[in-house]
Amino acid sequence: MIPEKYEEWADRLVAHVVDFIPNLVAAILIFVIGWWVIKIINKYVRKFFKKKDYDVTLEKFIADLINWTLKLALFVMIIMKLGVQSASLLGIITAAGLAIGLALQGSLSNFAGGVIILMLRPFKVGDWISAQGIDGSVKEISLFYTKLVTFGNQQAIIPNGDLANGNVINYAVEGIRREAMTWGIHYDSDIRKTKEILLELVAEQGDKILGDPQPAPMCIVTELADSSVNLQLRYFTKNEDFFAVKWYILEEGKRRLEEAGIVIPYPQRDVHFFQEGVIETSSKS
């Protein structure tokens, strides 16, 4: 009896395998052809965006979304061809989705963050931003991560979830920036002369310094500090001129102030010694 049962099971197994082979071959063909079609579609999507003047951020996000949607559809077609019923497939997808969702909460948060960034547009590719303690130019915004290129030409990868829920400073969106450069001078130095020198230096920059409707350049006293009188030089300039103007004013300003006898002091403290009614004063740097 036992050998007859084994023989019957073997016959059933062979029959199932024979019946399954055509579906397996068809599933393999669907995978090969479908993968090739997806590559062609992705290629034409990229060509389409190159011809149109769309935002680079939007192009990358939509291209990734199309790519993953097509691959998911291909996976469903293959599973159904292998004999999985639609109702069973729905149950499998639901269970798998729940399990994957619990396992990949961070990734789903990053995906949602990517959607929020795309909708609200706090920044775009090419903008210089500061976020999560990193400053850099936005190189790419994908479904899950945003890539920045830092000032030192390093690549920083920040999860979209952190960007969407954290503080982001966009230095490029307004097109102009305001500098507030602090200069400390000695208490005995001439404040008015210092202001004249610094404002004259700013005026020499010509069109690089923005005027109306922006506030005119100004130099004001902001603090009577322990070792210096602190003045602040304020002016507006375009983003592309910001650092060149700042670095030039820093170097040339120090040189001109020194030529005019304006002292930029080192941090110091005056210490007074009292002994037998005589006051002795010394200065320590």
pLDDT, residue 117, reads 85
Are 253 and 183 in contact, with CB atoms under 8 Å apart?
yes
Query: Where do the structural domains in the chain lie, given as residue ranges?
Result: 2-103, 122-170, 176-259
User: What's the Cα-to-Cα distance from 97 to each of 92, 108, 176, rounded to whole Å?
Assistant: 8, 11, 46
Could you tell me which residues come within 8 angstroms of residue 193 by beta carbon, excluding any fewer than 6 positions away?
260, 262
Instruction: Please state which CATH number belongs to domain 122-170.
Output: 2.30.30.60
pLDDT, residue 80, reads 73
Phi, psi of 205 (to 5 degrees): -75, -10
pLDDT, residue 198, reads 95
Bridge partners of 135?
A: 130
pLDDT, residue 156, reads 94
Q: Which fold has domain 176-259?
A: Alpha-Beta Plaits (3.30.70)
pLDDT, residue 285, reads 45
Q: Where on the phi/psi map is residue 65: left (φ > 0), alpha (ψ -120 to 50), or beta?
A: alpha
pLDDT, residue 86, reads 57
pLDDT, residue 103, reads 47
Per residue of the chain (285 residues), give pLDDT as tens. Answer: 446 666 666 666 666 666 667 777 888 888 888 888 888 888 888 777 777 666 666 677 777 778 878 888 888 787 777 766 655 555 666 665 655 554 445 567 787 888 888 888 888 888 999 999 999 999 988 878 899 999 999 999 999 888 888 899 999 888 899 999 999 999 999 999 999 999 999 999 999 999 888 899 999 999 999 889 999 999 999 999 999 999 999 999 999 999 999 998 877 666 766 666 554 544 444
pTM of the model: 0.58
Number of C-beta neighbours around residue 209 at 10 A: 20
Q: Which fold has domain 2-103?
A: Helix Hairpins (1.10.287)
Separation of CA 180 from chain center:
25
Residues in the chain: 285
